Chain A
Amino acid sequence: MVSSLIFCSIFAAIFVFAADEPEANKAAVRVEPTTSVGPRTLEKQTETAVVRDYLEAWRSMSAALEENRPQLLDADFVGAAKQKLTDTIHEQARLGMQTRYRDTAHDLRLTFYSPEGMSLQLLDTVEYEVEIVDHGKVIGTQPVRARYVAVLTPTEVRWKVRVFQAEPQ
Chain B
Amino acid sequence: MKFGMMKPRIMKLRFNVLLGGLLLAAMPLAVAQTGMLNVPRTVEAGSAFSIPTSGSGKAVLYIVGPAQVLRREVKLGETVSFAAGDLHNAGHYLALLVGGSGTENGAFDVVASHPASLSFLAKPSRLPVDLQNGISGVVYVFDTFRNLVIAPSEVTFQLSGVAGAGQARTVTTRDGVAWTKLNSATKEGAAQFIARDGGISATRVIQQVPGDPCRLRMNARLSNQKLGDPKLANQKLTDHRPAQQRLTLETEPVRDCGGNAVPDGTIVTFKEIYKDGEATVDVPVKRGVARTEMPAYPGATISVATGVVMGNEIRWK
Cβ proximity bits B60-73 to A, threshold 8 Å, 1 near / 0 not: 10101111111100
Contact of B66 among A12, A16, A101, A168 (CB under 8 A): A101
- Cα–Cα distance between A114 and B71 once the two chains are bound (Å): 39
Residues of A in contact (CB 8 Å), total 52
- Cα–Cα distance between A123 and B91 once the two chains are bound (Å): 14
Is A132 in contact with B62, judged by CB distance below 8 angstroms? yes
Contacts of A9 in B (CB 8 A): 24
Is B175 in contact with A3, judged by CB distance below 8 angstroms? no
Cβ proximity bits B1-42 to A, threshold 8 Å, 1 near / 0 not: 000000000000100111011011100110110000000001
- Residue in chain A with minimal CB distance to B14: A7
- Residue in chain A with minimal CB distance to B41: A168
A8-B16, A12-B24, A144-B107 known; A88-B32 Cβ under 8 A: no
A146 within 8 A of partner (CB): yes
- Cα–Cα distance between A12 and B26 once the two chains are bound (Å): 9
A12-B25, A121-B177, A134-B62 known; A142-B32 Cβ under 8 A: yes
The A-contacting residues of B in range 252-278, CB under 8 angstroms, are none
A169, chain B: closest CB distance, angstroms: 8
A139-B98, A168-B111 known; A92-B69 Cβ under 8 A: yes
- Cα–Cα distance between A151 and B109 once the two chains are bound (Å): 19
What are 23 of the A-B contact pairs (CB < 8 Å)? A3-B13, A8-B16, A11-B20, A12-B25, A15-B24, A15-B25, A80-B146, A97-B69, A112-B177, A112-B179, A114-B179, A115-B123, A116-B136, A118-B123, A119-B138, A123-B175, A149-B175, A151-B140, A165-B90, A166-B91, A166-B92, A167-B90, A168-B109
